[in-house]
């Protein structure tokens, strides 16, 4: 793994972005014990604290996490991400320990990338099912919550995922096309995303700019 570690979680820097990779599977395969969840959670918080030090956030203002199973999705297939209180988002059942959504919100994660669902879906900036757009006209300019993107459309023998007949209001765009996501980190204030469709011979079917004047914990922006 990057960073001279054998763990299933690690981080690295590319240009103005601090990337954090972690295992969502720890939350779904608890027969291997809870220690893996605790160790990862404690590491995530330490890594986020370090990334949020003023000198580090100036060098790498963007924080992007990526993991396999999403916190949210609009897929009608019985997966956990379609449930209201997903394990990954809220934490372990009943006591709700080690939930990742409050952690990522607290430390100002800008973008959360996901897979698992064989589709592409872009959400509005949101936290706890509440949309926090920057404004009505420019939702991704200075949003007040992370942006979730599912990019699991590379293709799979299991086929494409169905969507709910009524798409939730927090879902901005969705597609069953096979394809891939491209990201360009222009500078400290601008990220550009576009989803490329293989079904449509390389056509860009979705694109948007994420623009931020300030980075950091959302309750302090």
Report the mean per-residue pLDDT for the chain.
93
Q: Is the pTM of this model over 0.85?
A: yes
4 lies in some domain: no
- pLDDT range class, residue 18, cuts 50, 70, 90: very high
Indicate whether 3 belongs to any domain. no
Question: How many CB atoms are closer than 10 A to CB 129?
Answer: 11
Residue 178: CATH number of its domain: 3.60.21.10
Residue 139 located in a structural domain: yes
> What is the number of structural domains in the chain?
1
Q: Which residues have a Cβ under 8 Å from the Cβ of 81 and sit 6 or more positions away?
A: 69, 70, 71, 72, 73, 75, 88, 114, 116, 117
Which helix (H) or strand (E) is 100 found in, with range?
helix 100-106
Is 121 among the domain residues? yes
Structure tokens at 37: 């969840």
**What is the tens place of the pLDDT at every residue in 161-211?**
899 999 999 999 999 999 999 999 999 999 999 999 999 999 999 999 999
| Domain encompassing residue 103 | 10-220
- Given a cut of 90, whether residue 155 has pLDDT beyond it is no
């Amino acid at each position: 793994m990057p960073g001279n570690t054998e763990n299933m979680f690690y981080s690295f820097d590319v240009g103005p972005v601090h990337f954090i990779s972690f295992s969502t599977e720890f939350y779904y395969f608890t027969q291997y014990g809870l220690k893996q969840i605790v160790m990862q959670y404690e590491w995530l918080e330490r890594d986020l604290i370090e990334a949020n030090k003023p000198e580090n956030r100036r060098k790498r203002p963007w924080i992007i996490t990526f993991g396999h199973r999403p916190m949210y999705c609009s897929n009608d297939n019985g997966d956990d991400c379609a449930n209201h209180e997903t394990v990954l988002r809220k934490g372990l059942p009943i006591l709700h320990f080690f939930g990742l959504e409050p952690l990522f919100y607290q430390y100002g994660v800008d973008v959360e990338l996901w897979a698992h669902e064989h589709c592409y879906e872009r959400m509005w900036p949101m936290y706890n099912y509440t949309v926090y757009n920057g404004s009505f006209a420019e939702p991704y300019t200075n949003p007040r919550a992370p942006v979730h993107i599912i990019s699991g459309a590379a293709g799979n023998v299991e086929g494409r995922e169905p969507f709910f007949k009524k798409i939730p209001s927090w879902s901005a765009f969705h597609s069953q096309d096979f394809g891939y996501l491209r990201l360009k980190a222009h500078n400290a204030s601008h990220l550009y995303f576009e989803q490329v469709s293989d079904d449509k011979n390389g056509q860009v079917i979705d694109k948007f700019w994420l623009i931020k004047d300030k980075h950091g914990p959302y309750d302090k922006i």
